[in-house]
Amino acid sequence: MEGLVGVSRVTPVRTHLRQKHLPFVPTSSLKFTKSSYRNRTRVGMNQHPKSPNPIAASIQPLEASALSRFDNTQPSKEVLDLWRNADAVCFDVDSTVCLDEGIDELAEYCGAGKAVAEWTARAMSGSVPFEEALAARLSLFNPSLSQVQDFLKERPVRLSPGIDELVKKLKANNTDVYLVSGGFRQMIKPAASILGIPPENVFANQLLFGTSGEFLGFDKNEPTSRSGGKATAVQQIRKAHNYKELIMIGDGATDLEARQPGGADLFICYAGVQLREAVAAKANWLVFNFEDLISSLD
């Protein structure tokens, strides 16, 4: 993203993990220690279990020095009013709706995790064009159709704590919900299905395969396949439905880009998985859990 040159500071997540024997990870399976609003902590899983067992995370308090660097953890009245009256909310998926960065997890499954994760960090900081980072990451492991299918069976989606309740709350308030992601439809579909978000409300990239299931690349016609693509997708959504107030929620530089004329009115930075400080500092509202957004709608 313009104005975010170089790799920004990314604060990793600290958690204690306990394996549970359940088919997937609903948000109710993640247990949290309670803390004050300004001492909210981040949830994140940097390593995926080798089995599809869900993870229960006990969150560690964020250092006071880290929180003191931000003055946007409490919403202004204007921000709160816009949030409560939004016609539509667009969510990023990786490290926001879901605990993981999907492409990193797929790469790790295919044996190229470390190298791809390094590219992901650069892409999320805005230090390289998104389309360049996307092509480079995929070229490191060239996933086949069968690998993607096996991955989805063995590594079920892990939703971020509270996202299901937040989506239900927004729908109850007649707010339309969208998923806008630089990830891939094949991997986002399970999360959208669980959350009750229809396919037409999902804007994401598409992996392409040949007749034998060999990897061919990705659909470059998708707006989210290139730098500024999320902003373009959000602008298309707003124009198509004539929304008066629209909000973008995510963790990365590409999500922040969506806040521009004709796009999102507000950018809420969700740092419950990854705290990308250069992005968080520019947000209208910085939150470390979805509970704060849920309670603010009451």
Q: Which residues are catalytic?
A: 92, 94
In DSSP notation, 30-52 reads: -------GGG------SS--SSS
- Rounded Cα distance between 57 and 31, Å, is 6
* Residue among 250, 297, 296 at smallest CA distance from 273: 250
- Rounded Cα distance between 21 and 15, Å, is 19
Beta strands 176-184 and 88-91, pairing class: parallel
- Rounded Cα distance between 253 and 3, Å, is 10
Residue 208 dihedral angles phi and psi, to the nearest 5°: -115, 135
- Rounded Cα distance between 71 and 284, Å, is 10
62 and 40 in contact (C-beta within 8 Å)? yes
